[in-house]
Amino acid sequence: MKYAAPINDMLFVMNELAGLEDISALPGFEDASAETAQAVLEESAKFCGEVLAPLNFLGDQNPSVWKDGVVSATPGFGDAFRLFGQGGWQGVQHLPEYSGQGLPKLIATPCVEMLNAANLSFALCPLLTDGAIEALLTAGTEAQKQVYVPKLISGVWTGTMNLTEPQAGSDLSQIRTRAEPQQDGTYKLFGTKIYITWGEHDMAENIVHLVLARTPGSPDGVKGISLFLVPKFLVDNDGATGERNDVHCISIEHKLGIKASPTAVLQFGDHGGAIGHLVGKENHGLEYMFIMMNAARFAVGMQGVGISDRAYQKAVEYAKDRVQSRPVDSSSKHPVSIIHHPDVRRMLATMRAMTEASRALAYVAAAHCDLAHRHPDGNVRIGHQAVYEYLVPIVKGWSTELAIEVTNLGIQVHGGMGYIEETGAAQFFRDARILTIYEGTTAIQANDLVGRKTVRDQGAVARQLLVGIDATIDALRSGEGGAFSSMRRHLAQGRKSLAAIIEYVLDKSQTDPNAVFAGTVLYLKLAGYVLGGWQMARAMIVADQRQKEDPSFYGAKIATGQFFAEHLLSQAPALEIAIVSANGAEGVLALSEDQF
Amino acid sequence: MKYAAPINDMLFVMNELAGLEDISALPGFEDASAETAQAVLEESAKFCGEVLAPLNFLGDQNPSVWKDGVVSATPGFGDAFRLFGQGGWQGVQHLPEYSGQGLPKLIATPCVEMLNAANLSFALCPLLTDGAIEALLTAGTEAQKQVYVPKLISGVWTGTMNLTEPQAGSDLSQIRTRAEPQQDGTYKLFGTKIYITWGEHDMAENIVHLVLARTPGSPDGVKGISLFLVPKFLVDNDGATGERNDVHCISIEHKLGIKASPTAVLQFGDHGGAIGHLVGKENHGLEYMFIMMNAARFAVGMQGVGISDRAYQKAVEYAKDRVQSRPVDSSSKHPVSIIHHPDVRRMLATMRAMTEASRALAYVAAAHCDLAHRHPDGNVRIGHQAVYEYLVPIVKGWSTELAIEVTNLGIQVHGGMGYIEETGAAQFFRDARILTIYEGTTAIQANDLVGRKTVRDQGAVARQLLVGIDATIDALRSGEGGAFSSMRRHLAQGRKSLAAIIEYVLDKSQTDPNAVFAGTVLYLKLAGYVLGGWQMARAMIVADQRQKEDPSFYGAKIATGQFFAEHLLSQAPALEIAIVSANGAEGVLALSEDQF
């Protein structure tokens, strides 16, 4: 099963929609030119296509195996992970002082997309390691950073995030894992953590667990949670590893997909206590965790984009290859490849439009993140940070919901073959299904979008984005033909629906929270379609100006934009109706528990 | 994993929406009273809940196994199948002269729903056997009927449908299997058939394969296909079985779901020729196959309804049980069961509304089928047959597309637990995924809806249904409150969109077939939402009149109807836009093959 990274589309989005030129102009990013970006993407595409993609199906057929507490990764994964580390791929966006490449998130993001498109199970290990790196860089002591971060970036060690417990899933206030302070300044941890991705494996020399736990006498709820670093093998001050720590994998899950990535149940302290180090300040664990979660949530959004693109590529390949039935317009007396059948074409166009829109929105978000970190003007930084934070739950929630639809269509394009596991389309569907659940379900993303991202600033960022959409609606006048007028009509309607819902959310969030929260996921989807549609519209405008340079590429941008407008953005009014219908929450909450 | 058949809802639909009273008044159905119906449903519920439901997860964990041409079903399936046969469940709607119970399809349909809700893999065996029975009753000689049908109805033998070949999936014109006439009037068959459900197994004494094949010199394409009966063990004129026939299972597929049901590759004639008997007239095979396919397609639609209901029941159970997070309206300081969270409620309401609407539409279709067969007036029969045939592709296509959405939401309600196979929610998602593919993909259903069911009669049946919807829109005036005005508004809008699309299809089908076929699946979905919404509206009107008798049950009908209107029927205009957008097929077909 091949994977060819869509480098041209990635570069188009980076250069034309996400403003790579502006990012390259930021202090510290002087080397991040369009040429550098292209070179990095080409190298990444080579590694992902040649090393990781061929292991993907193998990982599904030969999942990680647990035996007596030891987890063996799928054969070939360990070697690939070493190449990954040696290639510097863990450190694309991390600081050079910790052995990173120091490139913008805008360049790291397509690399992450490729990684996930090539092999979602594999990509989870770097994803979680990135989370651990972020946490240490945010809240660790200088000594912790020096000892742990370079090892994580070089791929010698990997990292994990330990949040969930059996009774504490989405609700972290219920965490019970204890951390008892010791005389030497360390802590001993006791408790059970579940759903720990790559929580135990044999691909690296050590595993650095970042663990949420409570110290004695800490406040109830989320205000009493601290963050600890618990290495699998104890680490001395020089970074040398020693004794095995008291954290053990007691089982791994039997899952619907991402089977090569072990999902561990970790037991801390069954043999005297797992030795851990406090990261940052006591009782501030959730705050640090949110920093890593924002990064991880964005990355999961990229998993959605990546697997969508992979499923799309596979479906296109099959549709061009499989010959079946004569064309409905009688243009041939013989059976043709199924890509000539209008409904197959519609499915492929849907997959493509969803993938391109979610990619564009994510890359634009990545650029805001870079500007938020590197822009010389503090106020500008704050502004971009706010936009980035507004977009993260949408990139995570919307892209992953789309990934389920895209991989579902991918099976349908294959017909009966799609249901046979050997074909591989089913694996994408199974793998994608976790994406709307982990790192916060779509509802959790939507609650974040409403609470922290819309209500807290009284809709300031949301309204600012609407102003940007207005400018694009205006600019669409310049394009000729039905595609532009169609996009203009549907983007204007979508903008209107989104604006109405933002006001509805602001209006009702205090007085009728049930009404708002009954529709938060729909608000998230609406925002995704409108903001994604906005990027498709911007792409059309650029394509219109450039069309002569490459009629095939730019013509496809215009056609795909039109399709997005008519088939996807056109759903905005129905989402608005569902959210604000006269009886809003009454409609959703009308039934009593007994009536279900 | 429990399954409790929703008998009250089934009886409500049968009595109030599908008109069981009228069906009981038909000649031959005098015994099919509401009381009989209830008694049959209760027995069926007991059998499905106690015998079949507990085997469902087991079948997923221990799929059928192929070894040296022999297929062993999951342990327990064989015993269950014997009980199924002895209980008379194969024969609910078949004629008493062939050992059937002679009940209306309207009563058989909820039994089929239960069977599929309890155990989709198991239910496939009776589903295919029904197909074989239909084929023989339609086209078989009296001798064939007498020898084969009672054995099939009693469950001593099972049946299969052999259509697909590696090069002939949706396009049956490409079938190559040969049938060579022998001196004794039999034929010898040679060829390979794939995707043969329960094509080989150890649950019955014999397997009766119905096989499409070509006789020497037959015309090319679908006009040269004949239907043959090929028993696994040869059968003499008295029905006694003898020698093993030359049809062998050379492998079974490794599938995404329905793992307990073996999907066989059957090789005919590798050892001298498989002995077969012509069924009906030579070269009329496809015509007979369409008769069985209409029945089978309806049954697959019921698989969609059944698995949706099962997934809904499981999600409700979990949502009532799982405690997580405080309510958003601060009505409790403690975590509550997640059914109290608005977004969980929205997901459950969506699952429920989709399941109820697809059930109602299917049962109404079943009643039309009964009227088409038994009404004393020939013209009335023809009218009902036409409506039934219009509804079959919608019941099949729409209910199964919904089943994917419902089972997908079922996983989401479970959060992380949903992704763990032991939970069981993932199995429903995997099992459901085949339903939009086999017995004709959704696109094939949609082509049928357009070609044979809308264009052929120049929209007569479609327009007749619109008149029925108008009467309901009018009757909704009688209901008080927001639910009724909301349903009225959205049903009227949906009816308008559907009417526009029917005219669009009629207008363009000759002049611009690509434009029509680019939107056929969307037309099918639109018809599903509008006709399903119509049934929900009819249910609301009945519930309004009866509310005092059972406020909980009827109140739920009104609330669920409102939810359907605002969250699902409200999508109709977007579907209309997607189909008729100025550039219709240009939008979908704008890209050349190379641009994908």
Nearest CA in chain B to A516: B342
The residue assigned the tokens 């093993």 is B244
Interface of B with A in 42-81 (CB under 8 A): none
Examine residue A189 and state whether it is found in any structural domain, yes or no.
no
Nearest CA in chain B to A439: B416
Name the residue among A404, A421, A581 with its Cβ closest to that of B256. A421
pLDDT digit string, tens, across residues B482-504: 899 999 999 999 999 999 999 99
The rounded distance, in Å, linking the Cα atoms of A541 and A563 is: 15
Interface of B with A in 210-239 (CB under 8 A): none
The rounded distance, in Å, linking the Cα atoms of A333 and B190 is: 27
Question: In this predicted complex, what is the ipTM?
Answer: 0.97
The rounded distance, in Å, linking the Cα atoms of B528 and B295 is: 19
The answer to whether residue A321 scores a pLDDT higher than 90 is yes
Q: Which residues on A lie below 8 Å from B513 (Cβ)?
A: 328-330
Put simply, the answer to whether A433 touches B443 (Cβ < 8 Å) is no
Put simply, the answer to whether B518 touches A596 (Cβ < 8 Å) is no
Q: Is A435 within 8 Å of chain B by CB?
A: no
Examine residue B235 and state whether it is found in any structural domain, yes or no.
no
Q: Which residues on A lie below 8 Å from B415 (Cβ)?
A: 169-170, 437, 441
CA distance A434 to chain B (A): 7
Comparing CA positions, the residue from A4, A48, A3, A21 lying closest to residue A107 is A21
Put simply, the answer to whether B256 touches A342 (Cβ < 8 Å) is no
Q: Is B90 within 8 Å of chain A by CB?
A: no
**Which residues touch A520 (CB under 8 Å, ≥6 apart)?**
A443, A446, A447, A449, A450, B342, B343
Q: What residues of chain B score a pLDDT lower than 50?
A: none
Nearest CA in chain B to A487: B581
Q: Which residues on A lie below 8 Å from B593 (Cβ)?
A: 320, 337, 339-340
> Which of B195, B407, B412 is best to mutate for the A interface (most A CBs within 10 A)?
B412
What's the total number of domains in chain B?
1
DSSP-assigned states of every residue in A471-484: HHHHHGGGS-SHHH
CA distance B492 to chain A (A): 15
Examine residue A80 and state whether it is found in any structural domain, yes or no.
no
Examine residue A544 and state whether it is found in any structural domain, yes or no.
yes
Nearest CA in chain A to B590: A559
Nearest CA in chain B to A263: B420
- Residue B439: active-site member: yes
Helix (H) or strand (E) holding A495: helix A482-508
pLDDT digit string, tens, across residues A223-241: 999 999 999 999 999 999 9
Put simply, the answer to whether A169 touches B416 (Cβ < 8 Å) is yes
For residue B421, CA distances in Å to B61, B410, B428 come to: 9, 13, 10
Interface of A with B in 167-186 (CB under 8 A): 169-171, 174
pLDDT digit string, tens, across residues A27-81: 999 999 999 999 999 999 999 999 999 999 999 999 999 999 999 999 999 999 9
Instruction: pLDDT band for A584, please (50, 70, 90 cuts).
Output: low
CA distance A203 to chain B (A): 24
pLDDT digit string, tens, across residues A339-370: 999 999 999 999 999 999 999 999 999 999 99
The rounded distance, in Å, linking the Cα atoms of B584 and A280 is: 58
Task: Please tell me whether residue A207 adopts helix, strand or coil conformation.
Answer: strand
Question: Which candidate in A134, A165, A439, A576 is catalytic?
Answer: A439
Examine residue B536 and state whether it is found in any structural domain, yes or no.
yes
Instruction: pLDDT band for A582, please (50, 70, 90 cuts).
Output: low
Beta strands in B47-99 (DSSP E): 65-67, 70-72
Residues A2-23, mean pLDDT to the nearest whole number: 98
**Which residues touch A97 (CB under 8 Å, ≥6 apart)?**
none
* Per-residue confidence (pLDDT) for residue B101, from 0 to 100: 95
Estimate to the nearest angstrom the gap between the alpha carbon of B540 and the chain centroid: 25
pLDDT digit string, tens, across residues A399-436: 999 999 999 999 999 999 999 999 999 999 999 999 99
* Per-residue confidence (pLDDT) for residue A583, from 0 to 100: 59
CA distance A128 to chain B (A): 17
Quick one: what percent of chain A has pLDDT higher than 70?
99
For residue A169, CA distances in Å to A359, A596, B198, B343 come to: 29, 24, 41, 16
Interface of B with A in 336-365 (CB under 8 A): 337, 339-346, 348-349, 352
Name the residue among A441, A490, A596 with its Cβ closest to that of B348. A596
State residue B528 phi and psi, 5-degree precision.
-60, -50
**Which residues touch A299 (CB under 8 Å, ≥6 apart)?**
A112, A127, A130
Put simply, the answer to whether A433 touches B429 (Cβ < 8 Å) is yes
Examine residue B217 and state whether it is found in any structural domain, yes or no.
no
Interface of A with B in 127-166 (CB under 8 A): 164
Q: Which domain holds residue A504?
A: 443-587
Nearest CA in chain A to B339: A593
The answer to whether residue A249 scores a pLDDT higher than 80 is yes
Q: Which residues on B lie below 8 Å from A349 (Cβ)?
A: 587-588, 591
Interface of A with B in 458-487 (CB under 8 A): 482-483, 486
> Which of B167, B509, B596 is best to mutate for the A interface (most A CBs within 10 A)?
B596
Q: Is B582 within 8 Å of chain A by CB?
A: yes
Give the pairing type, strands B226-231 and A263-268: unpaired
The rounded distance, in Å, linking the Cα atoms of B118 and B123 is: 8
Interface of B with A in 244-263 (CB under 8 A): 253-257
pLDDT digit string, tens, across residues A432-476: 999 999 999 999 999 999 999 999 999 999 999 999 999 999 999
* Per-residue confidence (pLDDT) for residue A336, from 0 to 100: 95
Q: Is B519 within 8 Å of chain A by CB?
A: yes
Put simply, the answer to whether A343 touches B591 (Cβ < 8 Å) is no
The dihedral sign for the CA sequence A201, A207, A212, A213: positive
Put simply, the answer to whether B420 touches A573 (Cβ < 8 Å) is no
Instruction: pLDDT band for A290, please (50, 70, 90 cuts).
Output: confident
Put simply, the answer to whether A562 touches B519 (Cβ < 8 Å) is no
> CB pairs below 8 Å between A and B: how many?
269
Q: Which residues on B lie below 8 Å from A422 (Cβ)?
A: 254
CA distance A183 to chain B (A): 36
Examine residue B567 and state whether it is found in any structural domain, yes or no.
yes
Examine residue A278 and state whether it is found in any structural domain, yes or no.
no
Question: Which candidate in B134, B389, B439, B576 is catalytic?
Answer: B439
Name the residue among A416, A421, A571 with its Cβ closest to that of B574. A571
CA distance B269 to chain A (A): 25
Helices (H), B330-455: 342-374, 378-414, 425-432, 442-450
Q: Could you tell me if A3 and A117 are in contact, meaning their C-beta atoms sit under 8 angstroms apart?
A: yes
Put simply, the answer to whether B346 touches A421 (Cβ < 8 Å) is no
* Per-residue confidence (pLDDT) for residue B430, from 0 to 100: 98
* Per-residue confidence (pLDDT) for residue B584, from 0 to 100: 59
Q: Is A328 within 8 Å of chain B by CB?
A: yes
CA distance A304 to chain B (A): 16
Put simply, the answer to whether B591 touches A556 (Cβ < 8 Å) is yes
Put simply, the answer to whether A596 touches B443 (Cβ < 8 Å) is no
CA distance A147 to chain B (A): 34
Q: Which residues on A lie below 8 Å from B582 (Cβ)?
A: 482, 486
